[in-house]
């Protein structure tokens, strides 16, 4: 088997109120689209979203099933998360960074990392830690951020201030995304030097139509 035939291993970081199982289901079309190029490995966030939060929310843009998890909470008292919520401190991020460290050690090595929504925001943080050489565990060759954003938490601003991330990146966002509007995702682009982008006309999901295939493939081809 030649090197070009070996699939790239990508660690997948789900969105808020998703799980590894639901994200795997939601990205079935992407797996099919890229099956010759990549192997996607999914992990769970360590924090369960409280059932009181789950029952209050009628619309479930990020969730499938009852196992709903998050990487951190912006509202420390309620243990809930809103990407637009400005807060001084958050709850749970350290445990999530440790969960990714353990995944890299136990399930790796990985060529790249892919995140969706809150998971993409976490991917940006991981890339920042890697760039600043603050954590030797993270050594991703590339990152794919779908509906990503900068955390609005004051405690997290060190991930963004004065940082130029050299990790090659593909940023994917929907023009009709009501959960993470396109400008929030675009706000991450200046952090990543030479960032690539894929814009689609849909909403809050991971696009995998045949029209998007060549953009994913051209991006990934550089790492095979």
Catalytic machinery residues: 117, 177, 204
Cis amide bond preceding 215, omega within 30: no
Give me 209's structure tokens. Answer: 């139509």
> Are 154 and 87 a contacting pair, CB within 8 Å?
yes
> Where would I find the H helices in 34-143?
51-56, 93-107, 118-131
Q: At what angle do helices 93-107 and 118-131 cross, to 10 degrees?
A: 70
The DSSP annotation for 146-200 comes to ES-----BGGGGGGTTT--B-S-EEEEEETT-SSS-HHHHHTTGGGBTT-EEEEE
Our measurement of the distance from residue 64's CA atom to the centroid of its chain's CA atoms, rounded to an integer in Å, reads: 17
> Where would I find the H helices in 7-68?
20-26, 28-33, 51-56
> Are 181 and 187 a contacting pair, CB within 8 Å?
no
Residues 6+ apart with CB under 8 A from 52: none
């Amino acid at each position: 088997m030649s090197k070009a035939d070996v699939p790239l291993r990508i660690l997948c970081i789900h969105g808020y109120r998703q799980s590894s199982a639901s994200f795997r289901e939601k990205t079935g079309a992407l797996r099919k689209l890229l099956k010759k190029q990549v192997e996607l490995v999914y992990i769970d966030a360590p924090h369960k979203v409280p059932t009181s939060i789950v029952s209050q929310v009628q619309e479930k843009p990020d969730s499938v099933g009852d196992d709903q998890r998050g990487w951190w909470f912006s509202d420390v008292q309620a243990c809930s998360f809103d990407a637009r919520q400005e807060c001084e401190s958050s709850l749970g991020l350290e445990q999530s960074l440790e969960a990714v460290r353990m995944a890299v050690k136990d399930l790796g090595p990985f060529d790249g990392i892919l995140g969706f929504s809150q998971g993409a925001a976490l991917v940006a943080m991981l890339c920042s830690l890697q760039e600043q050489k603050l954590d030797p565990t993270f050594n991703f060759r590339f990152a794919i951020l779908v509906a990503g954003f900068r955390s609005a938490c004051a405690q997290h601003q060190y991930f963004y201030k004065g940082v130029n991330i050299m990790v090659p990146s593909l940023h994917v966002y929907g023009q009709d995304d009501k959960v993470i509007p396109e400008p929030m995702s675009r706000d991450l682009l200046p952090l990543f030097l030479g960032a690539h982008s894929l814009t689609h006309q849909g909403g809050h999901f991971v696009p995998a139509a045949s029209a998007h295939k060549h953009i994913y493939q051209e991006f990934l081809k550089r790492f095979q």
